[in-house]
Each structure stands twice: as C-alpha cells, then as structure tokens.
Chains A and B, each alone.
Chain A
Amino acid sequence: TQLLEQSPQFLSIQEGENLTVYCNSSSVFSSLQWYRQEPGEGPVLLVTVVTGGEVKKLKRLTFQFGDARKDSSLHITAAQPGDTGLYLCAGAANYGGATNKLIFGTGTLLAVQP
C-alpha cells in the first residue's frame, strides 16, 4: 500500500514567519502534486514536480521533489493570512500507466495569524 505522510499535521504561525511542510513515502512516484484546499471548496492545484531533485518556485512558495522521487517539501517564505488552508501532497500511483489515480497525503492544516 502506498502511503504519503505529511508533517506537521497542524501549524499555527504569525504573519511574516517562514515554514516548511514535508511529504514522505517509502514508494516512488512518477510525479507529485501539491494542492491547497480552503473550507467548503475542492483542492486547487499549486504545482506539479516530475523530476527527482526538481525545485519549483511560485512567488513565496518553493517546492522540492526528492532525488529518489519518494518525498517532497513545500517552503513558504513570509507567510500571509491568505496562505491559510489545508495543504495536500499527492503522488501519481501508476508509473508509466494511463490512469490518473492519485494517492493523497494526510494533509497539513496551516493557520496564519495576522
């Protein structure tokens, strides 16, 4: 069974602080996505990483895919209240296959206080 563990589960910080969320697995994924979900809404895709060691930046967000494609991290610089939400990592479970099954991580609930 492929599992994705995220840490921490909960994070409450002050505006302006930096933070890192981790997503770890013992399985290899062909790609990994990060989503953010706000209350009452579906997850919204933030980024997709596909190459081991890849680093992508999206404004104040930096995403990294581990060299072995088993783990990933999300770093937020100078967090703002608008960053509040549930952050989910998701790995593509069928390497080389045609299907779209995603394995979702356990989630990190982030609250940024003004």
Chain B
Amino acid sequence: KAGVTQTPRYLIKTRGQQVTLSCSPISGHRSVSWYQQTPGQGLQFLFEYFSETQRNKGNFPGRFSGRQFSNSRSEMNVSTLELGDSALYLCASSPGGAAKNIQYFGAGTRLSVL
C-alpha cells in the first residue's frame, strides 16, 4: 500500500503570495489532518477533514484553509503569506474507526517564505 504522498516537497514563495499544498492519503483512509512544524512551536494542528467536511480546526488565522475531495485527497491553502509561515507542513491520514487516533504522516512540504 502506498503511503501518504505530499506535493510538492519544497516551495519558495515571497511575502503576500498564496500557496496550495496537496496531500494524497493512504488508500481507504477517509480522514486527513494537517499540521505545521516549526523549530520554535513544534508540531501544531491546523485542521482535519473527513468525508469532505472540516471536522476540527486548530488556532490558526483564516489565511489558512483547506478542503477535501470525494476521493479523500486534500489540499491546504495559505493566502497572503507572511515570513512566519515558513515551516514544514505535514499531512496525516487515519483509517478511522477503532484506530481513529493513529495517524500516518507524509514526508511534508517545506515552505520557505522570503
């Protein structure tokens, strides 16, 4: 079974631009979560999608948004980029059910904002 795939692996943007990151979950997983990882704040929860609906949201500004498609693939968008948005963005998928808290992570997208 293929793992969680995130594209692109690396991105360089400038302040004010917007960016879209993509995540393909493990086949059969319907839950997709997004996390931001920085050296100062560690891993922080952004949001979770299940069956195309946002089921939970972290404490991030509205510039961070996401969506999930009918095939469970998910995208995350950040608008009006700020220098502080530079981070590793991680996507994780979960099988749900009894294993709902077990998450499988992709390798991440490294975003640099200049």
**Interface set of A (CB-CB < 8 Å, partner B):** 30-31, 33, 35, 40-45, 48, 88, 90, 92, 94, 98-107
Q: Secondary structure at chain A's binding surface: helix, strand, loop or mixed?
A: loop
> Are A100 and B48 in contact, with the CB atoms below 8 A?
yes
Residues of A within 8 A of B31 (CB): 100
> Are B102 and A107 in contact, with the CB atoms below 8 A?
no
Known pairs A99-B55, A100-B56, A102-B45; A41 contacts B108 (CB<8 A): yes
What bracket does the count of chain B residues touching chain A fall in? 20 to 34
Residues of A within 8 A of B33 (CB): 100-102
What's the A-B contact tally at a CB cutoff of 8 Å?
A: 67
**Interface set of B (CB-CB < 8 Å, partner A):** 4, 31, 33, 35, 42-45, 48, 50, 55-56, 58, 90, 92, 94, 96, 100-108
State the Cβ distance, A9 to closest chain B Cβ, in Å.
Answer: 11
> Are A30 and B106 in contact, with the CB atoms below 8 A?
no
